[in-house]
Amino acid sequence: MTLDLAPLPSLPDSVYPQSLLADNPAGPIVLGIESSCDETGVALVRVGPERDILLADVTASSMEEHSRYGGIIPEIASRAQLDELVPTLRAALRQAQLDLGQVDAIAVTAGPGLIGSLTVGAAAAKALALALQLPLYGVNHVIGHICVDQLVNGPLPQPALGLIVSGGHTSLLRINDIACDVVELGSTLDDAAGEAFDKVGRLLGLPYPGGPFVDKLAREGNSQAIKFPRGLANPKYAQTHAYDFSFSGLKTAVARYVETVSDNNQTLNVADVAASFAAAVADVLTAKAIAACQRENISTLVIGGGFSANSQLRELAAERAAAAGVTLRIPPLRFCTDNGAMIAALGAALYRAGIAPSRPDFPVTSTLPLSKMLV
């Protein structure tokens, strides 16, 4: 596994102004543990009166061990997390210059995710909470992808619209209160956006995970070269699937195109395929998100999840949000993939709101509903 010990302010210094730290020298500290898939993330957040401050964020990844298999192997992921959770915790405490005795609450991913991986993180968090006699929050990993934006851009306005785009989820959320009131407006009916990228990457012979490689290749191609379909974009779906997504048909269209080119002994322009495919995904995601903002009378859109790192998605979202008068918030790239900061951020939001912690024997679940912040 590789341990990311990059110093925190790889973000602009203004993100963590020293004045805020000085104004809140003794605010409660929340420890966040994330282990829903192949990363092991640990972060520490200081709860502020108006905004929270990230003190440490360390992630260990086992991605290299999975790449040879072309996908995540759950047993490998959970065994790697068993090995790396304690070293990652120690590294985070060193980065924050704190010890466990200074922690006031613990938050850990309770779902969704891989059961084995979730169990590793939850067991560690329960042991720490029991030993230190601290409140423990079993939180929703997916909502954390939105909540982490508060560490950078401050509290979310109420309401806000959240677009979750990752390997396992593509959903539109109405966020009335990030701590207690999130409503899922719609989701993917089949493949998630990130999942579709990985599958298309495999079709094009790219390494795993395919998403970043397709994104890089797309920047070299012509996004107008091939007219791929836009799932559920036809006006006839405006009433039945206004907030839903579908990428399975698009993935099939790419497969058929590649097959046709091969059957005709033509040269496949891989960059054009990647660019046209990526443009189709970004088009649907941004069009539906902006339309949802207008229909729900919401002026702030937050995009989170691993696929929010995609360059075409970011550029098109910025363009369309500006045209529609919608404020766009997307966390920096380091917070797009799974990390402890997003779990600590959600734990801090629950702590500040005075939400009662989870029961000590709370279960982990691979299918935690997106409307449920706390287990």
123-127, 164-168, 325-329: the lowest-pLDDT one: 164-168
Q: Which two tokens stand for residue 368?
A: 């935690």
Give the homologous superfamily in CATH for domain 160-330: ATPase, nucleotide binding domain (3.30.420.40)
**From CA 173, how far away is CA 227, in angstroms rounded?**
29
The answer to whether the beta carbons of residues 245 and 185 sit under 8 Å apart is no
* Phi-psi region at 187: left, alpha or beta (left = phi > 0; alpha = psi -120 to 50): beta
Going by the DSSP 8-state scheme, the letter that residue 69 receives in this structure is: T
| pLDDT score recorded for residue 122 | 98
Among 67-81, 84-98, 154-168, 302-316, the least confident range? 67-81
- pLDDT reported for residue 76: 83
Cβ 44 vs Cβ 55: under 8 Å: yes
The class of domain 2-148+336-352 in CATH terms is alpha beta
Residue range 74-97, pLDDT digits in tens: 788 899 999 999 999 999 999 999
Domains 2-148+336-352 and 160-330 share a fold: yes
Per-residue pLDDT, averaged over 309-335, amounts to 96
Instruction: Choose among 179, 154, 180, 178: nearest CA to 50.
Output: 154
Q: What pLDDT sits at residue 65? A: 67
Where would I find the beta strands (DSSP E) of 17-76? 29-34, 39-46, 53-61
Give the C-alpha separation, 353 to 336, whole Å: 25
pLDDT score, position 166: 87
- Listing from the earlier edge strand, what are the strands of the sheet with 327-329? 181-187, 170-177, 160-165, 300-304, 327-329
Please tell me which residue, 136 or 166, carries the higher pLDDT value: 136
Give the C-alpha distances (Å, rounded to integers) separating 298 from 173, 244, 301: 11, 18, 8
pLDDT in tens, 101-112: 999 999 999 999
Q: Which of 75-79, 173-177, 227-231, 272-276 has the lowest mean pLDDT?
A: 75-79
- What does the pLDDT read at residue 6? 44
What does the pLDDT read at residue 238? 86
pLDDT at res. 208: 83
**Could you tell me the residue ranges of all domains in the chain?**
2-148+336-352, 160-330
* pLDDT score of 77: 83
Closest CA to 93 of 151, 149, 31: 31
Tell me how crowded residue 97 is: count the other CB atoms within 10 A of its CB: 10
Residue 209: pLDDT band with limits 50, 70, 90: confident
Is the dihedral angle over the CA atoms 254, 258, 259, 261 positive or is it negative? positive
With 70 as the cut, is the pLDDT of residue 274 above it?
A: yes
Mean pLDDT of the chain: 90
Question: Mean pLDDT over residues 251-262, rounded?
Answer: 96
Which of 342, 254, 249, 326 is CA-nearest to residue 288?
Answer: 326
Task: For residue 281, name the pLDDT band (cuts at 50, 70, 90).
Answer: very high
Q: Is residue 12 over pLDDT 80?
A: no
How large is the average pLDDT for residues 362-367? 95
pLDDT at residue 113 greater than cutoff 60: yes
Residue found under tokens 């009131």: 181
Is 39 strand, coil or helix? strand
Residue 245, classed as helix, strand or coil, is: strand
Strand-pairing partners, residue 160, are: 175
Confidence check: pLDDT of 16 > 60: no
pLDDT at residue 185 greater than cutoff 50: yes
